[in-house]
Structure 1
Amino acid sequence: MTSSATSPSIRHRLAPAALCVAALLAGGCAAIDPHNMIGRQFAPGTSQTNPFGPVGATALSTTERVRAFDFVWNTINDRYYDAKLNGVDWKAAGDRYRPQAIGAPDDDAFWEMLDRMAGEMKDAHTRVESPKRAEQIRNNESVSLGFSFIRLDGRFIVSSVHPDSDAWWAGVRPGMALTAIEGVPTQAAYDKVMGVTRVDSTDRSRHFRAVRRIVAGDLDSKASFTFERIDGTKMDVTLKRRRTSTAALANHRVLPSGLGYIRLTQWTGFTADRSEQAVRELKDTPGIVIDLRGNPGGSLLAVTNLLRRFFPAKTDVGRVLTRSGQAVGFFFGTVEVIKLKQIVDGGPDAYLGPVVVLVNAASGSGSEYFAGAMQAEGRATIMGETTCGCLLGFLGYSAIPGGGELAYSEIGFRFTNGKRIEGEGVVPEKPVPVTLEDLRLNRDRALEEAQALLKTMGPWKPPAKTALR
């Protein structure tokens, strides 16, 4: 979100292995590199040389568009983790989108059409990023109006406002109703945007894509809105899109209640390290709240590194699903980078106090892996709202001819309780829906209820079935 489709991309885990064997892999032998990891972008913010040549400022030619289209269609067809392609008639999709993409009026429309074709997989992780969007991802930034909204009680309600945005300084606050966009009633404007928004893993993730289409755009471009204040008065504002950082953040503290609190905005090596340190510093607290609300995902290694801090012994949390049924690796499978059986390395210094994980509809991918694994093993109580339902994995972006980038799901997950999460979401044991009153009062009811629950709970005792001696 911040894309709802950020992956538990295996990038953080793959980077060291890829660097070590890059020279030997230069031949591109399919047997040596069956997952085609050569040239992938393994981590946010890293540069990538497009093997198809430099990307210029001129418009793509028809030949370049054809090459880009064929690359996307063939890659998904040949390498998607599910050989049945989610039951999608992919050939028919290619036949339908090819003339629309090749004949698109401009390059922006061309990349948009490629992404809409990728959306036919009904998978938030399988997507095409335009050159402009790919550059923003590499720079950990977004260009946005700085607010978001949800559908609540039959109206469109502001759910968050960035404090550095024009929206904030214009007086927009959570709990206000959004009644018009560019002079058009919000329902009509939203329906129009949804009509051109690609299909996604769930309706929840598709909503976030639609919101992003409304609030994102070119730097310094403007849009007008009408908001309704709590007292019923209206305010008309014109807002400018500004650049904001999407860099991952992690923080922790001891709450006034004496309970521990950890929050991560993304799963990266940095946030995982900070969070592991947080668990050590909070080891004497009687319970910990882990806040993953709004966290769209990230590195699988970062997730598993934090998971291990809550289990006293090696614990089987599920399996990875691949197209071949084999582990992800190099050199004819002799070097396994991602094993089929997902084992969390616990330890004697694990935190054994009770844990509550807070999630919402914008908790995706890596956050769903963490919450889903903790839930499946009975290690935490999940509280809040049903998550995105966007849990697949990709191994890094692939460069598309013409400058775009392709992510395609190469890994699925199944937890020990049999749940897949993709297309469904992690369903909290303790639902705490967002209410209009709480937004207006700036009240965090989920955090309040998490603390109340933790105070009634004692230390966790691992069931025998989860320990692998």
Structure 2
Amino acid sequence: MLRFRPALIAFGLIAAGSGLGGCATVAATPDSPAARQALNARVFDTVWSDTQRRYYDPGLHGLDWDASRQTYRPRALEADDADELYAVLRDMLGELKDQHANAQSPASVINRELTRTRRAVLGLSMTPENDGVWKIEDIREGSVADEARLERGWALVAMNGEPWRPDLILTDGVPVILTLRDQTGRLSDLTLTPRVMDPIPLFTTSWANHDTAVLRIEAFEPGLGDWLAATLEQLPPETDLVLDLRGNPGGRLAEAEAVLSCFLPRGQAWAVQRFRGREPEVMQVDGDCGDRDTPFDNDLVVLVGPGSRSAAELTPAALQEAGRAVVIGERTPGVVLISQETRLPDGGKLSLSRADFLTHGGRRLEGNGVVPDIAAPTSLDQRRAGVDPGLDAAIGALRMSAVAGTTMTRR
């Protein structure tokens, strides 16, 4: 199944957008050096050949993929365990400069499946950096990391003196020592004790005022389309809407299409997919929003920011380009290629971009992102103080529209 696959890794948060369900089947640990090397070879060769045959850009962005094989295969075969092997695979795939190209070890796959459960967390979400460290992308309110006043943009250099890995599982009450690098480059050690927290609900509704509903979507996960349709059906007729996609790392393409079906008319073109070896495919709204005969037509604001990725970029871009919504917040990072995951011989997974995306108007969002109609940057200090400039700007824009007696949209 094609889906948006963000590079966001949750460290005791929600790996929203992972799209996994059920239990992973992990191959047994090799019982000899020769068996380890043979398994390493099978995994490496699968990753290398699948990338050569299936990556959306047949030219691999100009890379000499044969030379990459000569460079990385010996290192992969010499790996003593899965951690070392997947570090080599990530180095090789990193040459593509594509955040959707990624190899996850069997342990990482299992850890992703735990992210929707009650468990011990620190409350950090992170993205990988080129130097092997991880940048803090977001901090969960009320978590250990929030109480310790960690900052977005800091780098996690090590945990307990060792490089942090996405497959590490924390234990309630057992302290860990984080080596952090702040924006000035200063290194410091901080001891934090994980504690058990419930997973963040994926979809929630709140009220900014008596006639403005705020729908917070953490990820484009299964059930979103049905939830949105049911929620819209229950809203009072004059309700205006704020769709909050900030910090949303994406998810399933089908759920993005379901969201658009609630706001755009059936048959409207909204994007173009470009696949390898195929003609471009124009995507049109072809679903229904529950039992609605017509799309939801009240004023609509979409909130976005640096943590809005993949489906959380393509969706506001389509609504913005169609003149159906006003986009408010901060520019998104431009990570919108469609990826597909395949199982590797040892139980790990390979994620590769299989298609490029353009808006229906011809804009390429990959590397460019969505530029808001109204800029409303929000600092971590403002969030901690309970100040939300993005939401305030959304409410202000809706109020001005109501006072003027006009519609915010540009249809």
What's the TM-score bracket when you normalise by the shorter of the two chains? Answer: 0.7 to 0.9
Change beyond 3 A, Cα 1:183–1:267: closer
Match of 1:366 in 2: 311
Change beyond 3 A, Cα 1:116–1:236: closer
Q: Which residue, out of 419, 435, 451, partners 2:395?
A: 451
Quick check: 1:224–1:239 contact (8 Å CA) kept in 2?
A: yes
The amino acid of 1:55's aligned partner reads A
Counterparts of residues 187-266 of structure 1 (less than 5 Å): 213=164, 217-220=168-171, 222-224=176-178, 237-241=190-194, 249-266=202-219
Q: Which residue, out of 272, 276, 281, partners 1:323?
A: 276
Change beyond 3 A, Cα 1:437–1:323: same
Write the deviation string for residues 123-181 of structure 1: whole angstroms up to 9, x where unpaired. Answer: 1111100111111223335875323589xxxxx99952453x4435xx32466997997
Work out the CA distance in 2 between the residues paired with 1:177 and 1:414.
Answer: 29
Work out the CA distance in 2 between the residues paired with 1:416 and 1:177.
Answer: 33
Change beyond 3 A, Cα 1:129–1:82: same
Q: Which residue, out of 223, 227, 230, partners 1:277?
A: 230
Question: Would you say 1:416 and 2:360 are equivalent positions?
Answer: yes
Match of 2:139 in 1: 160
Counterparts of residues 149-188 of structure 1 (less than 5 Å): 160-163=139-142, 165-168=143-146, 171-173=147-149
Write the deviation string for residues 83-133 of structure 1: whole angstroms up to 9, x where unpaired. Answer: 222232222222222222222343212112112211221111111001111
Scaled by the length of structure 1, what TM-score is found? Answer: 0.69
Q: Offset of 1:315 from its aligned partner?
A: 0.7
Match of 1:390 in 2: 335
Change beyond 3 A, Cα 1:216–1:407: closer
Q: Structure 1: where are the runs of 5+ without partners?
A: 8-41, 151-155, 194-212, 229-234, 328-339, 464-469
Question: Would you say 1:297 and 2:247 are equivalent positions?
Answer: no
Work out the CA distance in 1 between the residues paired with 2:156 and 2:218.
Answer: 30
Secondary structure in 2 aligned to 1:269? coil
Work out the CA distance in 2 between the residues paired with 1:214 and 1:285.
Answer: 49
Work out the CA distance in 2 between the residues paired with 1:249 and 1:394.
Answer: 21
Question: Would you say 1:438 and 2:382 are equivalent positions?
Answer: yes
Secondary structure in 2 aligned to 1:408? strand
Scaled by the length of structure 2, what TM-score is found? Answer: 0.78
Change beyond 3 A, Cα 1:317–1:214: same
Quick check: 1:319–1:341 contact (8 Å CA) kept in 2?
A: yes
Match of 2:7 in 1: 5
Q: Offset of 1:447 from its aligned partner?
A: 0.5
Q: Offset of 1:217 from its aligned partner?
A: 3.3
Quick check: 2:111–2:169 contact (8 Å CA) kept in 1?
A: no
Secondary structure in 1 aligned to 2:262? helix
Q: Structure 2: where are the runs of 5+ without partners?
A: 10-17, 128-134, 183-187
Q: Offset of 1:46 from its aligned partner?
A: 2.7
Change beyond 3 A, Cα 1:281–1:148: same
Quick check: 1:47–1:138 contact (8 Å CA) kept in 2?
A: yes
Change beyond 3 A, Cα 1:259–1:322: same
Aligned length: 372
Work out the CA distance in 2 between the residues paired with 1:427 and 1:369.
Answer: 12
Work out the CA distance in 2 between the residues paired with 1:355 and 1:257.
Answer: 16
Identity %: 28
Secondary structure in 2 aligned to 1:65? helix
Question: Would you say 1:97 and 2:97 are equivalent positions?
Answer: no
